[in-house]
Structure formats: structure tokens, C-alpha cells
Amino acid sequence: MNRSIQLLPYIKHLSRCVSLITPMLLLTTMLMTSIQADGRKLSPMLTQMRMPQEPDLSPDHVHSERTGKSYLPLIIKLHDADVTLPESVSIIHRRGVFLLAYVPVDEIQAVSQLGVISRIEGGQVCTPVLNEARRFTSYPEVEQAVGLPEVYTGKGVVTGFTDIGFDPNHAAFRDPTTGERRVKLLTDYGLSPGSCTRLDTPAEIADWSTDDADQWHGTHVAGIMAGGYKDNPYWGIATESDIVGTTSVLYDALLLAGMEDVVGYAREVDKPAVINMSVCASLGPHDGTSLFCQYLDELAKEAVICISTGNYGEKVGYWGGALPQSGQSAGGFIDYYTWRPDKASGYLDIWSADATPLNFDMLVLDLDTDEVVARVPFPEITSGHTDVNFAIASSQQLLVAAGADESNGVVSADLARYLDGIVIISTEINPENNRFNALYSLSVKNLPEASGELAWRYIIGIDIKGDPGQRFSAYCSDQIRLRHVPDNDRAVPMTSDGVMNDFVTAHNVLGVGAMCSRNHWPLIDGQEGTSKYTVGDVAPFSSYWSSAPVRPLPDITAPGATLISSMSTPYIEAHPDRVAAMTLMQTAYDRDNYWCSASGTSMSSPYVAGVCALAWQADPDATPAEIVDAVISTAMTPQGDPANPRWGVGMLDSYAVIRKIIDNSGVGNIKADQTGDLGLPSLPVPLTAEALAAYAIDNRLQIATPQGRTVSPGSLSSGIYILYRGDAAIKVAL
């Protein structure tokens, strides 16, 4: 008997990917007077929001134990790298002119006015949204070392991630030979400087349960990338890599802080680093110019970074093109997850192609008559007046709650006649790309009918107005989707082509889409779970953008539907009703360990990250750019629907990636550890740097890196080395 089952049915799509959403969904989190736009220093998001007071967060997470202040973790760009900021700004990491820092909410305005500040962005928060997979990417050839010097396992490479819901003591993250913990560093970031944790000893990590017992995503992702437990078929890719796990409450600045931790550890131990980020940002310029993407480009100089493209390949969430001769185009919004038209909460992020401003009207659409029944214009925006922050509310109470007054808001009887709620427009010329940007936020619901039930009749919308032929792009937040207004000119399309994670528009990262490698999987009770996806085909949910300005996206596609990987035991203990959705439970290392299925680009991205770790083991002297190029340039043409733009350049070919790296390194024909062919004694056990140095000296062997750089025996550390004498050589991994 087949039984279709979801791991988390109440967040069906969120089980596939972590999606970046903004916290301004409650009217009480809107703010328009205490945080104002300041000469393009603060992003439109920061002009509209402050840190949410989530009811499920304990007070010590929300407030500093020392000052009682509320903080926002932010990304700050300075005019000069060598400046100091007030002591109240708690710096997490510095990288050139960029800072990641906790800033007291009530001081953001004052900090933005400092002459040393160029730009402040951030304030967005994330919330959670193998065995069969291997055969689709030529992995069996890697696993069997067909034509390769050795079996690659990620040894000598650091694999890291930034996520939520990580169980570091799962059997998947133990050394399969020694049983030692492979998690070398674990960091967790809360909502204030006093709520940050750093664990870097086996004893500390052994005492840690999880960052969040209500989440499991990070455990599943890490298992795909690096899980090494082999008493069942569900191990990952880089099974002997060192693991750095970073978790947080998932503000964007904290994601970058976690990535800095991965890079920092790898730098300390002199090993290459691969980072996975299965996190999606629906909003942003999508041209690589956000401060987040600029920061990513800097990190990518030191690490290979793999990022999920998102799971919105079937969502109508992108609106863009040239305005028609009428110079205007209108659209409406409905709830994404339920398709219910009685409410809508979220954002539309609107970008002009250049600095030319656009103008906007708020609309109310009657679904019964297909007519626009209310139109309220926002204040006129001109080239000489582009910084606008204005609210339209259905009541004075909502206007006051948003921090607005008669100078920057209005109570609209036309809105109140049909809907209860508020909409806000915040505009600027973005200084990072010189493009006009408008953030349209909405939180509305239908009024009750005579029966007391909410009406389903009216939806909120917007009319975008400009010059005929003027081009714009608009992106929906996760909570809403677009629809055309009837009888309106449809010259500007609304589509799923372009609903893309803004993070992957950074220039030096790998944006990963998902294909289907299995649609049946075992359940713990002996029955079977199923999905609708076609094996060998690209997943229909996988986000894509065929005409992206930076490059067609995704960069590469890999197995993401459906993958079986490790599951957080603390999550199962907190949610015992989820046991039925598990694939397997095994007792090992004095605890119960679970494995389960999940689908999404969240699963395909760590798969690619694991393969990148194998490639870097093959040539530790390769650069991040060379690893990225090897992944993209060796992509396979898919068999299923090859013209589908969701494939990007094609499907990952694990073997070809490693083969290309080896061939480029010039060590493809050198045997690994075949000492008998040279008449040499066996390599010392255990193989340490000191033992290998003595072995080379005793046997009169020269030592070099795979790139040919001579190394003295006394300077050996972890890595790949070529030991040679005359024309004979062996390849050794420390």
C-alpha cells in the first residue's frame, strides 16, 4: 500500500527550503517616525520596520542582559574601513568597509547620521519554509575511484553551513572509523550581543542539544553535504570533511556572520572551505548590488559558496517589463499559501531600470464585478523628490500604530469601505546601483459580512505608473502572489520566471536548482511515501530566471526531490507525532538517530557543496573560482525536458567536476598511496605530518603540492602532497 505523507504538512513548501521573509507582517512592527530615511543611508525596509517582539522568544533572546535594549543585526557599509563607531554598536565581524553588527533599535537613526556611514541594510529574518540521488550525477564513478587517483571523501576540507535546527551530535556527524565528532566549531547567534554562543571543543559540543528544538532544517542539510554514518544507505557526500555548523535566528546579517565563522575556522586550520546556504531572499534588487551580495562576493574569494535558488518555480511572483503606451500597469495580491482572497500581508519590491522614478496608486478590486472600486494615489514622486515614506490606512488607529501622522499618512474612507488594514510606500534612489526603488508593504483583510464571516470579495492592489516604455521589475515576498487586474493592459507580464533568490545574484556564488531523483521512499512503519515528481526531470517548484541581468539562473541543477538525510533528534523528541514521517531510526552512540525525506532546492544546494568539497580535496591549491568554473563548465545535458529553463546550464556531473580539477592540477596520472610500485615501505600509521616528513627523508623523496610547488618536510600540514623520486610519484592525503 502506498501512502503519500508530508514531513511537515502545515508548511508544505517550507519543508523544501528556508525562505527569507520580513517581520513586518504585524501592524505593531511598522515604524515610520522613529526610523526615517536619511539621505539614502537607510534602506526602505529599515524605514518601515523595527525588530519584532516575537511571542515565542524568551526575554533574554530579545533584550540585552546588560542594557535591556532591543537590537537589530545589520549590514553596514562604511566610507572608510579604518573608522570607529559608538560603543553601543556591537560589531560581530569586520571585512574591509563592511561591518556586521548589532545596533540598538532606538539608535539606528543616530548611527545612520554619522559621517562615516555609507549605507545600512538588513533587518530581514528567515523562517523554515541520498542513496538514489547519487546515481544521477555520476557519483558512483567517484565513489569507486574509476580512473581517479583515490576515493575522495572531503578529507582535508571544511564544510560549513548557516541554517537553523542543527543537531550536532547526530550519528551522521561522527567519524565513521573513530567515532569522534566531526563538528569542529558550532556558533549560534541570538537577537542581542549577549545571546551569542561559540563552542569549539568536543566536550562543549557534546553538551549542546540544538539551537531550536522546533526546527530540523540544518540537520537535514548538513547530512546531505557531509553526513558520514554508513550503517544505512543514507550518508552524504563529503563524509570525512571537517564540519562547522552555524545557526541563528536567521536575520540576514547573522547569516553572513555564520559564514565568516566558517571561513575563519578554515583559515585557522589552513584548509579550504565550502559553505552551503539553503536560505532564500525574495526581495532585493536582484542585480548583485545589495550589501548582502557585495559581502558574499568578498567571502567567495576565500570559500566556495553554494546557495539554493528557491522553491517558487510555480509561483506568480515576478512582475516586470516595459510600461505600455498608457504608461501604467496594475496588479493585485492574494495570500500565497492558501489562495484566500480575503487577506494579504507582505511586500512588493519595485525597481526601475535606472534612476527614473515611478508613481503609484493604491487599488481595491471587486472580484465579483472585476472592477476597481477604489483608487487612492500616493504623493507624487519626481526626480527632485524621490525619498517618500507614506501610509494609507483604513482607520486612524492603524495609522497611529504605524507611527504615521497627517504629514506622512492618510486615513482613506475608500479603503475603509472595503478592507481593514494599511499599505505603505517607501522610495529612494538606491546609492549602490543608482536605481529607483519603491517598497510597497501591505497588511489588509476583508471586512465581516452580516453573518460575521469575513468576505472573500475584495483584494488590495497597486497601479504602477511611469513613462511609456519605462522598464521596471517587481518581486513579491513569500507570503503573497500576483494576479492581473481585469480589463487592465497586460503588456507587462506577471510570471514565475524571475521569482529568484536575490542572494544567488552575487557574482561569485553557485545558485543551485533541484531535479527529481526519487518519488518513492520507505517509511519507518514499513509503508511507502510518494510524491508527484517525475524521476529524472527537473522539479517544477525549482526557481529559475531565464533572463536574469547577471546570468541565467540557476547556475546548476542537482538532486533535490526527494532526498533522505539526517533528522534532528531533539526535534523528534519535541514533536513525537512526526515519527511516522521518518524513514529510519537507528540507535548509535548512546542515542536514537533518525533519517527522513525532504524535497527542495534546500536539498540540492548541499549536494553540490559536498561535491565541491571532494573536488577541493583532489586539488587543495585550486581557487574557489576554479571550483565554481569546474561545476558549471562540466554540466550534463539532462534527459528529461532539456529545454526547460529550470535546468539552468544543466545537471551536475560529479565525476566530470573532479576529473577537470585533477586534470588542471597535473596530477591525474599519479597513483595514490601505491608505495609497492616504487619499492617503498608502507606509509606510516597513523599518518601525521611529522611521520610523513620522516618517511620522505628516510626514503629520499621530494615533496610538492599538486600544483608543483616544492614543500620542505618541516612545513607539512593537512592537505594533498606529491612524493616523488625520479619519474615515479605517489599522492598522499594528510
- String of DSSP letters for 417-454: TTEEEEEEEEEEEETTTTEEEEEEEEEEEEPB-TTSSB
The confidence score (pLDDT) of residue 484 equals 87
The confidence score (pLDDT) of residue 55 equals 27
Strands 117-122, 98-104: pairing is: unpaired
CA distance linking residue 393 with residue 410, whole number of Å: 6
Question: For the chain, give me the number of helices (H) and strands (E)?
Answer: 15, 37
The confidence score (pLDDT) of residue 250 equals 87
Residue 407 DSSP class? T
The confidence score (pLDDT) of residue 669 equals 54
Which CA distances in Å does 284 have to 238, 333, 618?
A: 33, 19, 37
Cell 553601543 locates to 88
The confidence score (pLDDT) of residue 6 equals 32
Cell of 256: 553572513
What distance lies between CA 349 and its chain's CA centroid?
19
How many of the other CB atoms lie within 10 Å of CB of 309?
A: 33
Cell of 22: 520580513
Domains and CATH numbers, the chain: 23-123 (3.30.70), 132-312+501-664 (3.40.50.200), 318-495 (no CATH), 671-733 (no CATH)
| Mean pLDDT, contiguous 10-residue spans, the chain (734 residues) | 30 40 35 44 80 29 48 95 92 96 92 94 65 72 79 95 97 92 97 94 97 96 97 96 96 97 97 96 95 98 97 94 93 82 91 97 92 95 94 95 90 96 96 97 89 83 96 94 79 94 95 94 93 92 93 95 96 96 96 96 97 95 95 90 92 94 70 62 84 90 76 80 78 77
Cis ω before 645 (30° cut-off from 0) = no
Report the DSSP beta bridge partners of residue 427: 438
Cell of 641: 525536458
Element spanning 94, H or E: strand 90-95
What residues have CB less than 8 Å from 590, skipping those under 6 apart? none
Asked if residues 645 and 552 have their Cβ atoms less than 8 Å apart, the reply is yes
What residues have CB less than 8 Å from 407, skipping those under 6 apart? none
Model confidence, pTM = 0.86
Cell of 270: 589552513
Q: Using alpha carbons, select from 125, 102, 163 the residue that is nearest to residue 22.
A: 125
What residues have CB less than 8 Å from 656, skipping those under 6 apart? 138, 634, 636
The confidence score (pLDDT) of residue 24 equals 35
The confidence score (pLDDT) of residue 727 equals 67
* Rounded (5°) CA angle 350-300-157: 140
Q: Using alpha carbons, select from 284, 272, 279, 290 the residue that is nearest to residue 218.
A: 279
The confidence score (pLDDT) of residue 51 equals 28
Asked if residues 31 and 405 have their Cβ atoms less than 8 Å apart, the reply is no
Dump strand ranges (E) for 96-134. Answer: 98-104, 117-122, 125-127
Q: In what order do the strands lie in the sheet with 98-104?
A: 90-95, 98-104, 71-78, 117-122
Rg (CA), the chain: 27
The confidence score (pLDDT) of residue 670 equals 60
Report the DSSP beta bridge partners of residue 438: 350, 427
Burial label for 637, CB within 10 Å (0-12, 13-18, 19+), is exposed
CA distance linking residue 252 with residue 506, whole number of Å: 14
